[in-house]
Amino acid sequence: MSTLDNETIEKELDGLDGWERADAKTIERHFSFQDFLTGISFVDKISQHAEEVQHHPHITIDHTAITVRLSTHDQGGITEKDINSAQAYNRIFDEIT
């Protein structure tokens, strides 16, 4: 698996609600929840997904705000794994909220 080129990344991000480039090698999204425990439930569900696909995000929890960052470190940038995970996390978010 290789990193995606900038044009492909931008095209993919256009179709990914809420996701943006954090830097050249990372995409991120800020998720907001009504209460702390709903956010923690979201983190639990995306953690389960990450284990299933063996692709783990960087997660920051700040009360009802959760920030998720994705990058494929062993490839040195953004790959299809990151795009697929972002799509899955959006689906999980939609199911919870």
Strand partners, 29: 68
Residue 91 pLDDT: 98
Strand, coil or helix: 22:
strand
Please report, for the domain that includes residue 71, its CATH number: 3.30.1360.20
Instruction: Kindly state whether residue 18 falls inside one of the protein's structural domains.
Output: yes
The answer to whether the CB of 4 falls within 8 A of the CB of 28 is: no
The pLDDT assigned to 77 comes to: 97
The number of distinct structural domains making up the chain is 1
pLDDT at 1 over 90: no
Question: In 10 A of CB 57, how many CB atoms?
Answer: 22
Reported as a single tens digit per residue, the pLDDT across 39-92 is 999 999 999 999 999 999 999 999 999 999 999 999 999 999 999 999 999 999
In a domain, 92, yes or no: yes
pLDDT of residue 31: 98
Integer Cα distance of 62 and 72 in angstroms: 24
Residue 1 lies in a domain: no
Structural domain of 86 = 6-96
Helix, strand, coil fractions of the chain, as percent rounded to 5:
50, 25, 25
